[in-house]
């Protein structure tokens, strides 16, 4: 694959999670291939405002995937919260974004296949990523099969571990299990010092980081953030 702007051949796709217009622009400038646009990453991420989505879309040329998560906490949603998620996805249909990141669990810790399938159907023709609610499930292998049934395109996961490097062996197994049916997007704790090793250890072709362990999400050090994204890109190219 090639960087959509620079045309540089790439073996990897790098997705950067951002919560501001400034970070979105910096991530693209540094060579990111895709943005995950969120609010409140320090709380695990919530749905960003329509205003921010429009600002980033007008400024960025690379694909944007938008997180749809109505509140912090668990991923078991009541009917009102689920209705809100559907409304937010419907509203994004005309905003020229390329994907939605979302997911719903049942109280027993398994994937809510019916509700997630309903969301994925609303997302189409955009891509659907099942987010790290996956890591909260009681059986990752079974959860992967459930998510395949929903029609989602990929799963963002740390392999059930606190971070992706700790879950590397599980991530490799999940990538093999998913095969060509669903992509596995390792994320959690990745930075320039470990992202290439994680890619090699797992066989992943897409990688995700918000660089929160390197530069605090609430910080405004855009230069340091941009430099860290550029270092991730260079590490993966090396």
Per-domain residue ranges of the chain: 13-237
CB burial of residue 84 (10 Å; 0-12, 13-18, 19+): middle
Nearest Cα to 208, choosing from 68, 6, 18? 18
CATH ID of 13-237, from 3.20.20.380, 3.40.50.300, 3.90.550.10, 3.40.50.1000 = 3.20.20.380
Q: Tell me the pLDDT band of 10, cut-offs 50, 70 and 90.
A: low
- Mean pLDDT score, 187-196: 97
Mind listing the pLDDT tens digit for each residue in 66-110?
Answer: 999 999 999 999 999 999 999 999 999 999 999 999 999 999 999
117 contacts: CB under 8 Å, gap ≥ 6: 149, 150, 151
Give pTM, 2 decimals.
0.94
Average pLDDT over residues 158-182: 98
User: Stretch 51-75: mean pLDDT, rounded?
Assistant: 98
């Amino acid at each position: 694959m090639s960087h959509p702007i620079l045309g540089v051949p790439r073996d990897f796709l790098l997705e950067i999670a951002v919560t501001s217009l400034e970070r979105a622009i910096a991530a693209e400038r540094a060579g990111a291939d895709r943005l995950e646009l969120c609010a409140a990453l320090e709380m695990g991420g919530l749905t960003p405002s329509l205003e921010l989505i429009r600002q980033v879309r007008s400024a960025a040329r690379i694909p944007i995937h938008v997180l749809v998560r109505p509140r912090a906490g668990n991923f078991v949603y009541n009917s009102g919260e689920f209705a809100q998620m559907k409304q937010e996805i419907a509203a994004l249909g005309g905003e020229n974004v390329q994907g939605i990141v979302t997911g719903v669990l049942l109280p027993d810790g398994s994937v809510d296949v019916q509700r997630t399938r309903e969301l994925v159907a609303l997302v189409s023709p955009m891509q659907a990523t099942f987010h790290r609610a996956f890591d909260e499930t009681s059986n990752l292998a079974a959860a992967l099969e459930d998510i395949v049934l929903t029609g989602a395109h990929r799963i963002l996961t740390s392999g059930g571990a606190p971070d992706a490097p700790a879950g590397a062996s599980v991530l490799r197994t999940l990538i093999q299990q998913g095969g060509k049916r669903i992509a596995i997007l390792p994320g959690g704790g990745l930075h320039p010092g470990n992202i290439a090793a994680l890619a090699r250890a797992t066989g992943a072709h897409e990688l995700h980081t918000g660089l929160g362990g390197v530069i605090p999400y609430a910080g405004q050090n855009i230069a340091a953030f941009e430099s860290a994204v550029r270092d991730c890109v260079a590490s993966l190219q090396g």
